Structure 1
Amino acid sequence: MGSGIFALSTRAMFANQAMLDTTAHNISNVNTPGYSRQQVELSTDGGMYTGAGFFGRGVKVTTVTRSTSEFLVKSANEAAGAAAADKTRLDKLEQLEGTLPTGQTGLGYAATQLMNAFVDVANQPQDMSARQVVLSRAEEFASRVRSSASQIEQLQAGALSDMGTDIAQINEYAQQVARLNQDIASARGTGQPPNDLMDRRDEVISRLNKLVQVNTVEADDGSLSVFLGGGQLLVLSNKAESLSLLQSSNAQGVTVGSIGIVTANSVRMLDDTQVTGGALRGLLDFQNKDLAGTRGDLNDFVASFTNAVNTQQQLGILGKKDALGNTIAGSDMFIGTGKATTLAVNLQNPQDVAAASPLIAFTADANQGTMSVESLNMIAPAGRALPLLPPVAPSTTPQLGLTFQSPGTGPGFDVVDGSGNVIAANWVPGQDLVFNDGAGDPLFSMRIAGVPNVGDKITLEPPVDPSGNNGNARAMLGLRDRPIVSLTSNGSNTTVTDAYSQMIGNLGVKVQSGKTAASISGTLETRATETLEATRGVNLDEEAARLIQFQQSYQAAAKVLQVAQKVFDTLLNVAQ
């Protein structure tokens, strides 16, 4: 095209028309997610040499560019990935917090109420209604445990479902990026950037980052290679790999999920470290850390408490006897104690509550010292100890008599049984007396208050009527204040109420930490997004001002063309 007034005005009108079209395109897409403001790049069309010098040939449209920043886009994507991971984990943590209720609806309260039920049994061991209360509260405790465990497993199933949904969406986004790569590479062959396609690809990658953190590398043809945060290739040019959800059973028998990459002939499991952000990272952290930790604490709490109750139940005897008149050892109160989901009450009859101790002790009336029996604690289960204890006989014949004698050497006393066997040599008041079987294994222990005189005696024998004995009920009640519960998370024994409080406290700390992390990462995401949008976003006020400017420029160019037409008409008239 020449450099005359017709050519100059035509070029000017075309350039201004292009700017008007682009401005209209910007205004149309003001609310389109991921859209980058476009602008027409103009340049002079050079000059044409004449003898009188170079005359300009007007303006030309060089290209249409988009206002964006690769650095800001990547920063926003990284912030979005971190925020999505933290928010997903927090949402799940808040649901998990509801599985361990507090106050009178909590497990600690139910366990304490079970122990408190033995107060009435100890006061009235022959009252079957008091024993029935024990069984009712045991069932209430087991029911609450199963409810909490069931809710935890529902959260696990929900996490697996969410992982599957996220992975399916990740695979779809990867395919979209691959297709857009192909379209962009083809369009770049024209020598001009396909801005709208590139915006669409950036938006897909932005959404992808909210599910799993990815990094991108641009190739010479304009396509982007997409890698997971840990370096695993996801998209290369127009080909996309696929992720897969792998499910397996862990050591506790819980079905857990992991991420795999689909290869030609199999699925290869990825290390969790290769998933560095996005909702998928949040789900993995929740499953592998928060949910597993709470499940472990609950199982530890239940196993420690119920095993202690079962052990104490086995140390006692029932209030009834068998058909031969023999006492009956207590059996487990709970079964399925290894996992909270399987906990159940084993006892069905209130008579099966082992409230009686298989052994009683009393001092002789003729004793001269201040000695009294403070406590008598069974160590071996009654089922093993009973055959080793002497049978019940008339009270005039002591069943197991202990006599305190002067030691041959050293302080204290020698304690001997009726056969002259030394039970304890050089025994000093304040120490426990431990009684062993023939193999040297302990059967029971006794604590004595006061100080005996030489020759003082203690008699031990099974109770004649176990239905009225409360020895094991009192021992069971004592479990309430003993450090019988151990949690993996703290590694030390504590009481049942303190242990449950620690469980709730541990979970509360995680929730609070999750809230802090989500708040910080959410703020960073907002700032990064605002910074990016300030660079690429469409400002309607600015576009309106440009619209007026380009309209005036177009009108001026049209006026030039109109003048050219009049000049041409004048020339024609002169020629005629």
Structure 2
Amino acid sequence: MTSNLLSIGKSGLLAAQVGLSTTGHNITNVNVAGYNRQTVQQQTANANYAGYGYVGTGTEVSQIKRQYDSFMSTQVNAAQSSTSSLNAYYTQISQIDNMLADSTAGLSPSLQDFFKGVQDFSSNPSSVASRQALLSSASSLTGRFQGLSARLSEIGAGVDSQITSNVAVINTYAKQIAELNVSISQLTVDPALQPNDLLDQRDQLVNELNKYVKTTAQPGSNNTITLSIGSGQPLVVANRSFELAATPSLTDPNRVEVGYVTGSSVTILPENALAGGSLGGLLEFRSGALDRVQNSLGKVAAGLATTFNEQHKLGQDLNGDMGGDFFKIPDPQIGASRLNSASSTTVLSAKISDPGALTASDYNMRYDGNNYVVTRQSDGARTVINPYPQTGPQTIDGVDFSVSGTAAEGDNYVIRPTASVAAGLGVLINDRNKLAAAAPIATGAPVSNTGSGKLSAGTVDKNYLAAGNALTTPVTLTYNKASNALSGFPADKAVTVKGLDGNSTTYPAGTASIAYTAGDHFSFGGIGVTMTGAPANGDTYTISPNKGGVGDNRNAVALAALQTKNILDGGNATFQGSYAEAVSFVGNKTREVQVSGLASQALLEQTTNQQQAVSGVNLDEEAANLLRYQQAYQACGKVMQIASTLFDVVIGLGR
């Protein structure tokens, strides 16, 4: 009996000792990240049958249980992944927001200064000072474009560097989790008896991993876990970890992509496949904000340079020559995939032809086995190159695509029409005498005319630059009152007449006389003139090459008018307006990400607090447990003391 009582006391004392050790373990690990509170689970020891019933034999510790809730842990990991993604996005986009919002560092002041120089030039086209000031403001404008583009490129290089470091950290965590899987499986002899501390370490690593990339965890055999990322790519399976790789883009060696390593090969993952975590945030920022802003800046640069060049070439400089290109415009970037077939002979070129139709998107051109298909990356719109072989360039969103040669199925190319325009923009004219302020034609009428008819100063369009259209000799128009018609138009050119009612009539080349109505606009060979009033019979009007037009500012006025003309975004935005749209996008996106980040942070704190309420260590509760186990220890010791006394009594009876 005393032996049984001694054993009962001993079992209680040992259980209390385990309780004290576990409580002490909780207290000392209260500040350890990822630690889950442990509790002692006791059960009654097997009783002995004694004829009159079962006599208890004490207690035993059945399990040291980890207070862990997998559902809450999954919620915390998801909130952590989302918060890290938004924080990474916000850190990057706020740099662009600060740069574009700066009233001195942005593009707006330079645009305004440039067009102020154009306006001063148009007001005094013969002034050496105004001409030189225009060249200086043009150089400042291109320098600002280049500076903004360089800063965006620096941000992009920083993003690439962070992607590389994030991939390295992810691989390290994956390897450590796989190693812990091995240790945990080896120590799991009984599924009910788990190595709690190792499980805590593994769960904390999973939480840290979710700061970099969103993972999906599934339980495996023998207490292991399986982690997958993206669209299901395994990262950890039992004792094996898989690696990601930061690798150059297939079409742009200067751009870092994330690849999945399988054996000796690396498969590049789509950027949208790696959502969540700082890595997902960086990838989303680069494709969703950085590329768009860089393309939008290039779109403004391309639109300004293209339209300014087109108008400048319609003018006449101080030397009497037609104007040339004012700005240097880089061609679109084209990248061929390294995986393209070696047998392919495809030659692809692209050139901006219509700045008003430009978008802020990049494009993919892929050969599907039958056709070359151009896909706009922003919305997936597809255009087939047709016909092929081409009879001439095919225009897609303001870009002329010229393709020749043969390809293999799957050959892929990336075209970035505006990405590099701002960086490569330059001023081609350095001789102020070559600034084309004047129009190449002049109109006039002799004083001998007796009617009230008047001929406008005249304009020219791009057709004037075609071979054979430039005026070399004067054109004299004569009015015949009897037929109410004008004669003398060039015999080799068709004439289009547009009335005040908006209706147009085209007369074939060689038409001897053309009916006249006051207000009619006549155009031929790229020349346009408007006649008003009532000319008298025999009145003549001349259209001739502009000689000695030093003070003529008609083309300069047309150049200045480009500032307020809706040219970009389908003819709905000025240069300033299109740039303002990009600034507005960045500002709104920055605020959106900031607000979302704060909300996600609050959710993370809420879910963490809920998890800690279940799994965290409460020092007040542990202090109470210490007293409880201490009292139990003392009581069990008293039981053993009594058993010892009884044993002494029994021994004494035998003396």
What is the TM-score of this pair, normalised by structure 2?
Answer: 0.78
Aligned position for 2:244: 243
Displacement of 1:185 = 0.2
Q: Find the residue that maps to 1:466 and give its secondary structure.
A: coil
Q: Deviations over 1:239-291 (max 9, x none)?
A: 111101222265xx683332211111211222334323211111111111211
Displacement of 1:468 = 2.5
Aligned position for 1:479: 562
Q: Deviations over 1:384-417 (max 9, x none)?
A: 57973134xxxxxxx2222344696xxx854643
Q: Deviations over 1:286-324 (max 9, x none)?
A: 11121111111111110011111111111112113xxxx
Amino acid at match of 1:527: Q
1:334 aligns with 2:333: no
Aligned position for 1:434: 523
Native 8 Å contact 1:256 1:287 kept in 2: no
Q: Find the residue that maps to 2:125 and give its secondary structure.
A: coil
Displacement of 1:500 = 1.6
Native 8 Å contact 1:86 1:517 kept in 2: yes
Aligned position for 2:136: 136
Amino acid at match of 2:476: G
Native 8 Å contact 2:99 2:106 kept in 1: no
Amino acid at match of 1:521: S
Gaps of 5+ in 1: 321-326, 392-398, 437-442
**Separation (CA, whole Å) in 1 of partners of 2:189 and 2:540:** 108
Aligned position for 1:395: none
Displacement of 1:104 = 5.1
Bigger mean CA offset, 94-103 vs 150-159? 94-103
**Separation (CA, whole Å) in 2 of partners of 1:271 and 1:122:** 52
Aligned position for 2:260: 261
Superposed, which structure 2 residues align to 1:10-21 within 5 Å? 10-21=10-21
Amino acid at match of 1:433: F
Question: As a proportion of its length, which structure holds more helix?
Answer: 1
1:498 aligns with 2:577: yes
1:95 aligns with 2:95: yes
**Separation (CA, whole Å) in 2 of partners of 1:454 and 1:525:** 89
Displacement of 1:341 = 0.9
Superposed, which structure 2 residues align to 1:98-177 within 5 Å? 98-101=98-101, 103=103, 105-177=105-177
What is the TM-score of this pair, normalised by structure 1?
Answer: 0.89
**Separation (CA, whole Å) in 1 of partners of 2:33 and 2:492:** 95
Native 8 Å contact 1:311 1:381 kept in 2: no
Aligned position for 1:467: 550
**Separation (CA, whole Å) in 2 of partners of 1:407 and 1:311:** 42
Aligned position for 2:489: 417
Aligned position for 1:359: 441
Displacement of 1:420 = 11
Native 8 Å contact 2:107 2:144 kept in 1: yes
1:350 aligns with 2:351: no
Native 8 Å contact 2:271 2:284 kept in 1: no
Aligned position for 2:477: 402
Superposed, which structure 2 residues align to 1:64-75 within 5 Å? 64-75=64-75
Native 8 Å contact 2:37 2:67 kept in 1: yes
Amino acid at match of 2:435: V
**Separation (CA, whole Å) in 2 of partners of 1:312 and 1:328:** 14
CA distance 1:419–1:10, shift in 2 (3 Å): closer
Displacement of 1:114 = 1.5
Which of 552, 559, 573 is the matching residue for 2:631? 552
How many pairs are equivalent?
548
CA distance 1:63–1:431, shift in 2 (3 Å): farther
Bigger mean CA offset, 135-144 vs 279-288? 279-288
Aligned position for 1:306: 305
Bigger mean CA offset, 369-378 vs 413-422? 413-422
Q: Find the residue that maps to 2:313 and give its secondary structure.
A: helix
**Separation (CA, whole Å) in 1 of partners of 2:154 and 2:422:** 14
Aligned position for 1:323: none
Displacement of 1:427 = 5.0
Aligned position for 1:294: 293
**Separation (CA, whole Å) in 2 of partners of 1:254 and 1:155:** 17
**Separation (CA, whole Å) in 1 of partners of 2:492 and 2:170:** 82
Q: Find the residue that maps to 1:180 and give its secondary structure.
A: helix
Q: Find the residue that maps to 1:494 and give its secondary structure.
A: coil
Displacement of 1:352 = 2.0
Aligned position for 2:591: 512
Amino acid at match of 1:476: L
Native 8 Å contact 1:330 1:382 kept in 2: no
Q: Find the residue that maps to 1:5 and give its secondary structure.
A: helix
Q: Find the residue that maps to 2:33 and give its secondary structure.
A: coil
Displacement of 1:127 = 1.3
Aligned residues: CA RMSD: 2.6
Aligned position for 1:380: 462
Amino acid at match of 2:429: L
Amino acid at match of 2:172: E
**Separation (CA, whole Å) in 2 of partners of 1:82 and 1:240:** 24
**Separation (CA, whole Å) in 2 of partners of 1:183 and 1:162:** 32
Q: Find the residue that maps to 1:126 and give its secondary structure.
A: coil
CA distance 1:404–1:177, shift in 2 (3 Å): farther
Aligned position for 2:229: 228
Native 8 Å contact 1:315 1:381 kept in 2: no
**Separation (CA, whole Å) in 2 of partners of 1:2 and 1:457:** 141
Superposed, which structure 2 residues align to 1:183-194 within 5 Å? 183-189=183-189, 192-194=193-195
Amino acid at match of 1:248: S
Native 8 Å contact 2:438 2:552 kept in 1: yes
Aligned position for 1:396: none
Q: Find the residue that maps to 1:361 and give its secondary structure.
A: strand
Which of 600, 604, 616 is the matching residue for 1:521? 600
**Separation (CA, whole Å) in 2 of partners of 1:102 and 1:386:** 50
Amino acid at match of 1:482: K
Q: Find the residue that maps to 2:20 and give its secondary structure.
A: helix
Q: Find the residue that maps to 2:249 and give its secondary structure.
A: strand
Bigger mean CA offset, 283-292 vs 452-461? 452-461
Amino acid at match of 1:23: T
Q: Deviations over 1:530-560 (max 9, x none)?
A: 2111111111111111111111111111122
CA distance 1:504–1:561, shift in 2 (3 Å): same
**Separation (CA, whole Å) in 1 of partners of 2:646 and 2:7:** 14
Aligned position for 2:23: 23
Bigger mean CA offset, 549-558 vs 171-180? 549-558
CA distance 1:407–1:481, shift in 2 (3 Å): farther
Native 8 Å contact 2:131 2:432 kept in 1: yes
Native 8 Å contact 1:178 1:235 kept in 2: yes
Native 8 Å contact 1:160 1:257 kept in 2: yes
Displacement of 1:419 = 7.2
CA distance 1:480–1:229, shift in 2 (3 Å): closer
Displacement of 1:498 = 1.5
Amino acid at match of 1:292: D
**Separation (CA, whole Å) in 1 of partners of 2:255 and 2:532:** 56
Q: Find the residue that maps to 2:589 and give its secondary structure.
A: helix
Native 8 Å contact 1:211 1:277 kept in 2: yes
Native 8 Å contact 2:475 2:488 kept in 1: no
